[in-house]
A = this chain, B = another copy of it.
Amino acid sequence: MFDSGVGGLTVLKALRERMPCEEILYLGDTARLPYGTKSAHTVTRYALQATVKLVERGVKMLVIACNTASSVAVDAVRRANPGLPVIGVVRPGAQAACRASKSGVIAVVATEGTIAGGAYHRAIHALRPEALILGRATPLFVALAEEGWVEGEITEGVAARYLMPIFDPPSGSDRPSVPDTLVLGCTHFPLLAGAIRNVIGPDVAIVDSAATAADAIQAELRDSGQTNGRDGCGGTLFLTTDDASKFARTGTMFLGTPIAEQDVELVDL
């Protein structure tokens, strides 16, 4: 599993809850994060480098636990690793959104790179061609989550500034309707779900791409008969491209359980 940094740990957390026996190798490319503001070409290059590092350690599946990389690099990663299952976080999120939405009006919040790449639009339209999709890049959500400011007046103010034009458009606006579903299309955003909920109200379905990706990973391993049995030790080894102690510290917030610094290995891509 790889991510630009610690955000993908929300996917790891969701996967651990479902599959405690799997051995997981998590690579966070913290020396070059974030991917969300960078071009598709650059993110694809980074994703392929991360993949090489994981494959050389012998993995049975590759998970791209980063929405931006999933948006732009899944095909390139698949081509570079024939025979190895590759799961991104975009398609499972799109499937869950299509299941959750009654009206077919779906909002997606994500990084600039994910929105610009249009991957959620394509994945949702492949399943529901008539869906109306309102995408919005929300880069400050990433900074708020990394700062640990996950609730309160400022965070709700930022959420309102990003989301109110979509969920409460000015009257007289020619927008046909408001969404009944919001996809959190970045692994950082589940941390802000409470503040976002306070802003958009109780009636909008919130789709967490980390949880839906974990479901997809579980289904794929089960269907291909590759699930680890009870003998699996269920350990996690963390690889990072920048400071290991900082990875352990900030990662703990995203994972929800402590990461020991001795479980974090510094690697160079």
Contacts from A to B (Cβ < 8 Å): 30-33, 37-39, 41-42, 139-140, 142-144, 146-147, 149, 153-154, 157-158, 161, 241-243, 246
Contacts and interface: CB of A to CB of B under 8 A. Distances in A.
A37 B145 CA distance: 14
A144 B142 CA distance: 11
Copies in the complex: 2
Contacts of A37: 33, 146
Most buried by B among A38, A143, A149, A153: A143
Contacts of A39: 242-243, 246
Nearest to A143: B143
A149 B157 contact: no
Contacts of A140: 140, 143-144, 147, 149
Contacts of A157: 153-154, 157
B38 A42 contact: no
Given A37-B146, A153-B157, 6 more contacts: A31-B32, A32-B32, A139-B143, A140-B140, A140-B143, A157-B157
A30 B112 CA distance: 14
A62 to B, nearest CB: 23
Q: Per DSSP, are chain A's interface residues mostly helix, strand or loop, or mixed?
A: helix
Contacts of A144: 140
A39 B249 CA distance: 13
Nearest to A154: B157
A149 to B, nearest CB: 7
B143 A242 contact: no
Contacts of A142: 143
Contacts of A42: 31, 241-243
A91 B31 CA distance: 26
Nearest 10 CB-CB pairings of A with B: A143-B143, A39-B243, A154-B157, A31-B42, A32-B32, A42-B242, A140-B143, A39-B242, A38-B242, A140-B147
